Amino acid sequence: MQKLNIIIKMKKIILSLVVVVALVSCQEQQKIAFIDNGKVINDYQMKIDIEDQFKIKDEAFKKRMDSIGKAFQAEAQAFQANAQKLSQAKQQEQYQVLGQKQQGLQQQFQYEQQQMQQMFSVEMDSVISKVNTFVSDYGKKNGYTYILGKNEAGSVMYGTEANDISEAVTKALNDAFSGTDSKEETAKPAEATEGK
């Protein structure tokens, strides 16, 4: 009887071990990778195109600002050349008019520059949002449990090269951009992508 109890206990232990091993082996293997956030965003063709567009706008703004500034300087020099012919009261009045005009121009330039910076920030926020959505979809499509982001803040302190999918994500992201968004946003991103 005692041998029978020992055999039953042994069978229960073996059965328990088999169940534990089966449960552990049945658990889904987690697929984890990381991307270098800065590299993916900086190599994203949409971001490159937006930066190029804003460089062109900024250069045009600077040229216009220089042109208006030179015209104002010419006006101020003309006034100084003729100031001796005017009465003291007229000179004072002209100085005030020129001062107000200069202040108005400076305020206008500052306002326009702030507007451009705000538009650029909105565009960059859109880029980051699209990258985040894309990475999430990419992870789902490719069976990843987690895709971590490597950045200066240190969310990934180390990762093997085999787990770095930055280039694969960047390529897929640029392919998606070239296929759809690029036709709406700009006419030449396919050329820029091919040149990489």
CA dihedral angle for residue 56, residue 174, residue 126, residue 65, rounded to 10 degrees: 0
Predicted confidence (pLDDT) per residue in 154-183, tens digit: 676 456 677 888 898 899 999 998 886 444
Determine the 3-state secondary structure of 32 from DSSP.
strand
Q: Flag whether pLDDT at 113 surpasses 90.
A: yes
Q: Flag whether pLDDT at 194 surpasses 50.
A: no
What is the domain count for the chain? 1
Q: Which residue has the higher pLDDT, 194 or 71?
A: 71
Q: Say which DSSP state 42 is in.
A: H
- What CA–CA distance (Å, rounded) separates 153 from 139? 22
- What CA–CA distance (Å, rounded) separates 64 from 19? 77
- What CA–CA distance (Å, rounded) separates 70 from 132? 46
143: left (phi over 0), alpha (psi -120 to 50) or beta: left
Q: Flag whether pLDDT at 149 surpasses 90.
A: no
- Is residue 150 within 8 Å of 159, Cβ to Cβ? yes
- Record the pTM: 0.65
Tell me the CATH number at 140. Answer: 3.30.910.20
First to last CA, the chain: 79
Phi, psi of 150 (to 5 degrees): -95, 130
189: pLDDT confidence band, cut at 50, 70 and 90? very low
Q: What is the mean pLDDT of residues 84-96?
A: 87
Predicted confidence (pLDDT) per residue in 8-39, tens digit: 766 667 756 565 555 555 555 778 888 888 89
Domain that holds residue 94: 2-194
Token pair listed for 59: 């250069």
DSSP 126-185: HHHHHHHHHHHHHHHHTT-SEEEEE-TT-S-S---GGGB-HHHHHHHHHHHIIIIIHHHH
Q: Which residue has the higher pLDDT, 63 or 1?
A: 63
